[in-house]
Amino acid sequence: MWFPETAIPGQLSACSSMLARELESRERSKRARLLRQARFPVPKAAEGFDGSLVRFPEGWGREEMLSLDFVGHAEDLVFHGPTGRGKTHMVTALGVEATRRGIPVRFYQTASLVLQLGKAKREGPWTGWWRTSGAHRWSYRTSSATFPSTSTGPPALYQVISDSYERRNVVFTTNVEFSKWGTVFANDKLAAAIVDRVVHHGRLVGFGGPSRRLEQSLMLGKSGS
């Protein structure tokens, strides 16, 4: 055993290098673990994404979004636009970047989240599910699908969003206007309460232009890149 005050320069250098490699290895392992836990369908990157047809709020743009500054302020984002415009690509890219920076996130499809919420409600207690899932920064996707009026899904989703309000981020992708979220949640009052919370600390980002999937379609003889 030796101590720093008695070590020769070569030993100190070797020790420093060893510690640096260990820290780097731990960081790589942490990033890989966070990426697995995020459960993205397919990891994406923001590089190469054509954002020329993306409409940002005044005074807040692509640079601010990619900086992930909104994460530290528990602000929400709503990516709105027709199918195939890159909404899911961008929300995934932001999540991947977050995991690279050590921020825990989780990607949910609406149907999957509703099933998990229903299971948690049946098996209880709710707090057990929330302790494991609520620790993540939320990346949650909604669509034009509607819930049966007897479903416990909408109230459970409201509870998730309400509990996240001013505590953690929720990033939505949707092709449904706010005024029609009552149809999605099968409950106008519940939808209004959700929209109220999202709008208060959120930003709306519009995705326009032609469908990226059609532009890259192999079936239509495109490159598919």
The CATH number covering residue 143 comes to 3.40.50.300
Task: Look at residue 91 and tell me if it is in a domain.
Answer: yes
Query: Within a domain: residue 21?
Result: no
Residues 6+ positions from 84 with CB-CB distance below 8 Å: 211, 212, 213, 214
Domain membership of residue 221 (yes or no) is no
Per the structure, how many domains does the chain have?
1
What per-residue confidence (pLDDT) applies to 134? Answer: 57
Any domain includes 118: yes
pTM here?
0.81
Q: How far apart are CA 217 and CA 15, in angstroms?
A: 54
Q: What is the DSSP letter of 56?
A: P
H-state helical runs in the chain: 9-38, 62-67, 69-72, 87-100, 110-123, 126-133, 153-164, 181-185, 188-200, 212-215
Averages of pLDDT over each 10 residues, the chain, 225 residues: 60 77 88 92 88 93 94 92 91 93 88 77 67 61 53 77 88 90 84 93 91 67 56
Q: What is the pLDDT of residue 200?
A: 94
Range of the domain at 101: 39-215
CB-CB contact of 108 with 140 (8 Å):
yes
